[in-house]
Chains A and B, each alone.
Chain A
């Protein structure tokens, strides 16, 4: 399977619902509507990427899972170089929940580290998903245009060459 899938990893369905709504509001011509999968854990997300290594992974990040997400991103970006990943910052990090005077610093630090780990972009509100949608569309366009780039698949030229008995060296 080489098509681009959008895979949302979150605890609930907040982000996925917001993405569907935001996508539905896109002009039909602009939205080519890749299928949106929902998973509930990073392990499931990895499994989904095994099936669709060129997918677009959207990972919800909250205070409790920031460390695991950072580690997962570093490993997964390396494992699936044709994939694309964005982070969805939960309010517990963006500081919109509870009085935390360091929240803006926390948020910026979290954003910086997520970008450093391999996220291409970070969204901090389900109400502002336009950049994330645009990024996903560009990624899917790229994947659709240059198919067959999964690295380990046998090279056709190599295979055809192996059939030809005479070779120069």
Chain B
């Protein structure tokens, strides 16, 4: 009698408790929760009780709100140490209605462990140990309190939760709706990403540098996580070496949960992967049956066309630097990649990887998306800045639309950041935009004018002067390096500086000291 009465009374007491309380048994199943917990998590009590909780940090898809009554709950799991009889304190998180996370301090109180069995780090032999009572605080942690928690010396549990918060944020950042734009091209990209994520197939993401290929590739991974847990292993093919590749492959081979939780190997800029590593990777994929999904990005648009079944491009044309590729292909690495290039990529590797080929369009091919993208970047600049700017004036957007955007979204982001710095009002105006945008606009505005006369020598001198100034800036003021960059001898550079009307004294002082004049005077004029 007393036992039942006490049990009922205790249940009633806990039911009326304003602080969320729940009890997890040694099988990590929630066997009791009070209404306050149901309110806090916005889940029915019936859907919480009986659910298994798991302790891990892997990201789940943002849309997975754990309403599925058969899915394990992650956020409510006490730390493993609590199941071994250690009282501890940490934080518990759940998804708020706005999609963000809310956090509360929690006490994890182990139950049913006899004192003589409470051996640290060891489970009681009769199996009775392990039930844990979790008592949450009465209110959520404020961002300041949460930050204070993080800046202290967090326990292992806090570290684990930090990683979980990061992965949740990543999953949210790379959700399907993060691929902004209503253009037809972007709608197609979103559909392909969804298909790649759902199918688990290997994917090749092609497009110009800066177009957001990396974002698309990660979106595939994070969207694929909606039904399980998966690890993302990025590999920068420009910087890869034996050690990095071996460690990446090892990370993919290591047991990371159930087979359905396939990890993702993200190969960034696949065209730079040296041939021996291609072979090594192919062997791992085919012979060792690497249990991973491969998502690769390619910077060469021609390769994308070849992969997508369009006529293959000649190697020579692939090697021709375009406006988009110029920044990458001027390097020796770029040259070697050109020699290896798309044509030298192992066809077998491409076959394995390109199950789904996704083409990320150039920004100029989706100018209707420019306003929303610019606004998105503007709001990103507002974050953490004392300067809060609300919008971009229509005239400024029109001016942006005239530009050719060789640097794609990355360039747009930086242009907006520069305008954000310059802007003095609540709205970005045309005058706030960087000079490069105005140059493009001037060029465009002259397109329909009647032919004008120019003095070619003056024009060429102006261009040469600008080239020299830029080369000197590039070389950090070192004239020898600048001369090399310009493909001329150092004495000739000196002479041109004088001939083009640079202020000798200033130039000497700023660039290299007094030797400028002296050395130049030693050289006979040509």
A contacts, CB < 8 Å to B: 1-3, 63-68, 70-71, 74, 78-79, 81, 84, 92-93, 100-103, 106, 109-110, 112-113, 115-118, 120-121, 131, 134-135, 138-139, 142, 145-149, 151-169
Contacts and interface: CB of A to CB of B under 8 A. Distances in A.
A64 B57 contact: no
A67 B439 contact: no
Which of A145, A159, A160 has its CB near the most chain B CB atoms (within 10 A)? A159
Interface string B459-480: 1001100110010001010000
B150 A64 contact: yes
Interface stretch (B10-18, B308-316, B339-347, B446-454): B446-454
A151 B251 contact: no
A167 B446 contact: yes
B414 A152 contact: yes
A163 B467 CA distance: 14
A66 B447 contact: no
Q: Interface SS of chain A: helix, strand, loop or mixed?
A: helix
B244 A121 contact: yes
B154 interface: yes
B470 A156 contact: yes
Interface stretch (B25-33, B229-237, B357-365): B229-237
B415 A145 contact: no
Contacts of A121: 244
B331 interface: yes
A43 to B, nearest CB: 10
Contact of A158 (B154, B233, B436): B436
Interface residues of B, number: 71
Interface stretch (B128-136, B160-168, B194-202, B489-497): B160-168
B418 A152 contact: yes
What secondary structure prevails in chain B residues at the interface with A? helix
A146 B154 contact: no
Contact of B233 (A115, A138, A147): A115
A142 B331 CA distance: 7
Given A64-B152, A147-B485, A148-B474, A116 B170 contact: yes
B166 A70 contact: yes
A131 B240 CA distance: 11
Contact of B162 (A67, A84, A116): A67
A101 B239 contact: no
B228 interface: no
Nearest to B254: A108
Interface in B400-435: 404, 406-407, 410-411, 413-415, 418, 434-435
A155 B163 contact: no
B80 interface: yes
A79 to B, nearest CB: 8
Nearest to B231: A112
Contacts of B467: 156
Contact of B156 (A102, A112, A145, A152): A102
A169 B463 CA distance: 22
Contact of A106 (B160, B446, B447): B160
A102 B244 CA distance: 25
B6 interface: no
Contacts of A115: 233-234
B159 interface: yes
Q: Nearest 6 CB-CB pairs, A to B?
A: A146-B331, A154-B436, A152-B414, A149-B327, A151-B407, A162-B443
A3 B153 CA distance: 37
28 contacts: A1-B476, A2-B474, A64-B150, A64-B151, A64-B153, A70-B163, A71-B169, A101-B121, A109-B160, A110-B159, A120-B236, A120-B239, A142-B238, A145-B332, A146-B327, A146-B330, A146-B334, A152-B414, A152-B434, A152-B436, A154-B434, A156-B466, A158-B439, A159-B466, A161-B443, A162-B442, A167-B447, A169-B447
